[in-house]
Amino acid sequence: MAEPIKLRYHYLDKLRVFLICVVIFHHTAIAFGASGGWYYKSSVLWKGWNQALMSLVMGIDQSYFMALFFFISALLMPASYERKGVFAFLKDRAIRLGIPLLIYIFFLNPAIVGLVGELKGVAVDWGQLVGHYHTPGPMWFVLTLIVFELLYVGYRTLHPRSKTPTPKDFPSVAKLIVFMLTAGVVAFLIRLEYPVGKSWFGLQFGYFPLYVGMYWAGLIAARQRWLEQISLRKAKVWLAIVVVAIVAFALFCYLNRESGGSDAGGWNRLAFAYAMWEPILCVGISYFLLAVFKHWGNRPNRFFRAQSADSYLAYIVHPFFIVCGTYWV
């Protein structure tokens, strides 16, 4: 059987760099008062309409950026699995994902928590910190990715298949609508028990329907060559849909600001609207970004390839620099 062809999507290097910048911006904005949890909040926080506007921006970011990371990871992962085989693939993932995750959980996370205590002038028991503050922080993504990839390896071990991709048409509008409706309804139901902001070991299950769905979509996209079919013309349509959805949701929230419900979760119209709004933005913005970067960025570029290679390190260490930067600003 012929060896699988190693394809390189040059525009994905640039897109990964862009998404890492969004992650850093997202966490920095939270540190200055936008909605969300973070290690350290600035003493000078946004308030009023500034806070509301930035919280809307955070909601827009949250709808797509981590889900798109999962999509890209799933898109590239099967080719790596085919080239390396089961054991080499698992060894690579243990080194690349597992070891950094353990270092963050047992050393970096306690160190950042201790640093925050020092900055606040609180007496820090470093021994207690190292012994108890074992959570993944932003590395929840890596933890989740490990679980997803182990499930994939288990499935492929039980269901071997041809290594040759089978190009098929990009999903129809009807299939995309079903995907968005399913993700929204499932998220709404999960948030009845796990509202936005509630987590277990750093995992916010209220966002997981889109993470699971986009990872699954990435696996299918890799096999059926969906990225070869995305176009800038359709991307413009999706951008228009996204803009309308953002304006409509902002207006809906304003009109229902005294309804007593919360968009974080619960049996109320704000929570339902938010849960149904996210998949629309996720699909629309993801398609738009993939098409734009493919159209204008699909050429080899040594600088962006190097930045893409370093983006994982930037993801791991960025909390430390945000905490320090927030304190000194």
Give CA separation, 157 vs 2, 140, 166, 216, in Å. 20, 26, 20, 17
Domain count, the chain: 2
Q: Is residue 24 part of a domain?
A: no
Distance in angstroms (rounded) separating the CA atoms of residues 250 and 232 = 27
Same domain, 274 and 189: yes
The answer to whether position 110 is within a domain reads yes
Same domain, 149 and 237: no
Q: Supply the DSSP string of 211-225, one letter for each residue.
A: HHHHHHHHHHHHHHT
Given this model, what pLDDT does residue 303 score?
80
Domain boundary among the residues 94, 129, 164 is at: 164
Cα 30 to Cα 66: distance, rounded to the nearest angstrom: 16
**290 in the same domain as 183:** yes
Domain match, 159 and 197 both: no
Q: Does the residue 318 lie in any domain?
A: no
Backbone dihedral angles phi then psi of residue 203, each to the nearest 5 degrees: -100, 120
Residue 113: closest CA among 327, 329, 323, 325: 323
Decide if 308 is inside a domain. no
User: pTM (2 decimals)?
Assistant: 0.89
Shared-domain flag, residues 156 and 183: no
Q: Is 301 domain-assigned?
A: no
Q: Say whether both 200 and 135 belong to one domain.
A: no
Single-letter residue type at 150: L
Q: Tell me the C-alpha distance between 103 and 111, whole Å.
A: 11
Judge if 75 and 158 occupy the same domain: yes
Are 232 and 148 members of one domain?
no
Domain assignment of residue 40, yes or no: no
Residues 182, 248: one domain? Answer: yes
Whose CA is closest to 70, among 174, 148, 160, 187?
Answer: 148
Say if residue 152 is in the same domain as residue 241: no
Ordered per-residue pLDDT tens for the chain, 329 residues: 344 445 567 889 899 999 999 999 999 988 887 777 888 888 777 677 777 788 888 889 999 999 999 999 999 998 888 888 889 999 999 999 999 999 999 889 888 888 888 888 777 777 766 666 678 889 999 999 999 999 999 988 888 776 666 778 889 999 999 999 999 999 999 999 999 888 888 889 999 999 999 999 999 999 898 998 899 999 999 999 999 999 999 899 888 877 777 888 889 999 999 999 999 999 999 999 999 999 887 787 778 777 777 788 999 999 999 998 887 86
Do 126 and 184 have their domain in common? no
Q: By residue range, what is the domain housing residue 108?
A: 68-164
Q: Indicate whether 72 and 157 sit together in one domain.
A: yes
